[in-house]
Amino acid sequence: MRSKITLPSLKSLVTFEAVARNLSFKAAAQELHVSQSAVSHQIRNLESFLGTKLFIRKSRSVELTPQGKNYFPKIKYAFNSISEATNEIMGEFSNSVLTVQLYSTFAIRWMIPRLPEFKRVHPDIHIRLHTSQENVDFDHQDIDVAIMIGKPNNSGLHYDHLFGGELFPVCSPKYIEMTGGIGDPEDLDKHTILQVYPSKNDWIVWLSSNGLSNVELDYGLDFDSYEASLITAGQGMGIAMGQQPYVNEDIQSGVLVEIFPNLRVKNPDSWYLACLKQKSEDYKVKVFRGWLMSEIHNDNNHNLE
């Protein structure tokens, strides 16, 4: 039968270890971010629990009693053992976690529906998604890989090209019905344009490539993500810029329609998987990269059918 475990409070032990290591109530209080009186209170409680004095308090210094000198290394060893065991478990878990930064729209419309299959095939890797409209700062953020659209312009990063894309205006059938149709690209100036301000260049690229200079973009609606813009377009509130892979399902289901199928413009930016060069061959990064490439390959084959 297991004997009863006798333990003082953890807070008093932490306080004792700090005072004994620093040989100072003041330094321990500063380290623990508490008052000196709180430190004294915890030490008195511990001494009362143990039934013995642990410190000799002098006017300008603190010394350990013989009992304190005997107690301190054992408490320190116990804390070190707990810390090592905790770090070992946390290290095992962190090694199995892959933190992926990506845009919220890509997460919602492409990544999240596929994660159950990734989990089924790779149960040893836990995906943690971090959504942001800003590009990742690998030097100051705890991010393993990022799915981004842009250009490979950072020499410290490893880039894998995922796919290119095309830009094309879309709206709902309801919007076409309400407005009587949009016969000519020049007519866009008479309609509500839905913009994504982190990607404000997309509309400019499409208009410029099609020689359109009369369309005023400042009087439409602005959104912080393609998700919000496309949902608004689907509700019949204006014309959004579409691009793959965001709108494929909406077009196939009829929620959105492409207004000018013959006027698609190649996006000057491409999609990449990016990570620090020194992490590019990490096991979890390689597994995720392989799965991602396979999913994109399957998408491309499906679109060709």
Q: For domain 95-164+269-304, which CATH number applies: 3.50.30.40, 3.40.190.10, 3.30.420.40, 3.40.1360.10?
A: 3.40.190.10
Contacts of 191 (CB under 8 A, 6+ apart): 179, 182, 238, 239
Going from N- to C-terminal start, the domains of the chain cover 10-94, 95-164+269-304, 166-266
* Region 166-266: CATH code: 3.40.190.10
For the whole model, what pTM was predicted?
0.65
| 10-94 matches 166-266 in fold | no
Q: Does domain 10-94 have CATH number 1.10.10.10?
A: yes
pLDDT in tens, the chain (305 residues): 455 667 899 999 999 999 999 999 999 999 898 999 999 999 999 999 999 999 998 877 899 999 999 999 999 989 888 877 776 676 655 568 899 999 999 999 999 999 999 999 998 899 999 998 888 888 888 899 999 999 999 999 999 999 998 999 999 999 999 988 888 899 898 899 999 988 889 999 999 999 998 888 878 899 989 999 999 999 999 999 998 888 888 999 999 999 999 999 999 999 999 999 998 999 899 999 999 999 988 877 555 34
